[in-house]
Amino acid sequence: MLHTFVVYVEDKPGVLTRVASLFRRLNININSLTVGRSERAGLSRITLVCEASAEAGHRIRASLFKLENVVDVDDISQAPAVTRELALIKVAASPQTRAQIFDLVEVFRARIVDLTSESLMIEMTGVESKIEGLIEVLREDEGRILEICRSGKMTMRRGHHVSSVVKAMTVTPAGSADESAEAREKNVAGEAD
C-alpha cells in the first residue's frame, strides 16, 4: 500500500540524507518527496510517500523517530487529508494556437504564468490525477510539451490537527533550540569575561 508520512526535521546539512538513507536501508522506494520550511523556524517539513506493506508503516515511523534530527513523524496514510502537487508545464504555442491552450487551462483551472511568441508556461496545482489529466490532453498534440517540472506531494491532515511535538516546542522562547543553546553559550562566555 501507499504510505504517506509527514516528518518534521531539523533544518541542518545532511538531514535529508539520513531520512533517505533509512528508506534505502529498508529497500523501500520513495515515490514522492517534498521538503520545505514549516511553521517553525529551524524545522523543515517533509511529505514522503512510499510503497510498502501495510505492516511496514509502524516500523518506518518508529525508525524515523530513531533518527536524531527527526522531531516528529505523522503517518497519515489512512487519515483524511488534503494532498496537492504543483506542476510547471512549458508548451510550444504560436499566437495562432494559443487560444486552444487558454481554453484548456480554463477547464483545468490552471494558470498561464509566462508567455512568449513561441511558447507559454502553465502553472497548475491539484491532485495527481488532475495534473496527469492536463498533461495527457496536452500530449495529444505531439511535440507540444517542451518541459515538465513537477513537485512531489504536499499533504496536510484535515481538521484542527497540529503536531503536538512542534506545538510543545513553541513553549520555549523564540528561536530554535540550537539558537537558544548558542545564546546560552554566549551569555556564559560573557560572564567568563
Partner 1 sequence: MATNGNSQSSTAHLTTPTPLTGAEILWATLAGEGVTDVFGYPGGAILPVYDALRKFPIRHILVRHEQGAAHMADGYARASGRVGVAMATSGPGATNLVTGIATAMLDSIPMVCVTGNVPTRVLGTDAFQEVDITGVTLPITKHNFLVTRTEDVAATLRHAFQIARSGRPGPVLVDITKDAQQGSANFNFEAAKPRPYRPHPMLRVEDSGLDQAAELIRNAKRPVILAGHGVMESGAMEQVRTLAERAQIPVALTLLGLGGFPASHPLNLGMMGMHGEAWVNDAIQEADLLIACGMRFDDRVTGTPATYALKAKKIHIEVDPAEINKNVKVDVALVGDLAEVLEQLLPRIAGRDGAAWLKAIEASKGAVAVHDIKNLPDMGHLYAAHVMHDLWRMTGGDAVVVTDVGQHQMWEAQYFRHERPRTLITSGGLGTMGFALPAAIGAKIACPEKEVWVVAGDGGFQMTAAELATIVQEKIKINIALINNGYLGMVRQWQEFFYERNYEATPLVCPDFVKLAGAHGIAARAVHKRAEVAEAVAAARSAAGPYLIDFQVEKEDAVYPMIPAGSALHEMIRRPGKRVKDPLEETADE
Residue 41: name the closest of 153, 184, 166, 187 by CA. 166
Min dist CB 5 to partner 1, Å, is 14
Q: How far is the CB of 45 from partner 1 (least distance, A)?
A: 17
CB of 123 to partner 1, least distance (A): 36
Residue 116 CB, shortest distance to partner 1, in Å, is: 39
Q: Which residues are at the interface with partner 1 (CB under 8 A)?
A: 14, 17-18, 21, 25, 55, 58-59, 61-63, 65-68, 72, 165, 177, 181, 184-185, 188-189, 192
Residues 6+ apart with CB under 8 A from 177: 42, 169
- Angle at CA 87, nearest 5°, toward 110 and 82? 80
Is the Cβ of residue 58 or residue 167 nearer to partner 1 in the bound state?
58
* Closer Cβ to partner 1, 138 or 165, answer by number: 165
User: Around 132, how many Cα atoms within 13 Å sit in the side-chain half-sphere?
Assistant: 3
Q: Which of 22, 150, 144, 16 is nearest to 92 (CA)?
A: 144
State which residue, 13 or 95, has the beta carbon closest to partner 1: 13
The smaller minimum CB distance to partner 1, of residues 18 and 157, is found at 18
Strands in the chain per DSSP E: 2-10, 30-37, 43-51, 70-75, 81-92, 111-115, 119-126, 145-150, 154-157
Q: Minimal distance in Å, beta carbon 97 to partner 1?
A: 48
Backbone φ and ψ for 84, nearest 5 degrees, come out as: -135, 150
Closest separation in Å from C-beta 40 to partner 1: 16
Contacts of 119 (CB under 8 A, 6+ apart): 90, 91, 92, 93, 146
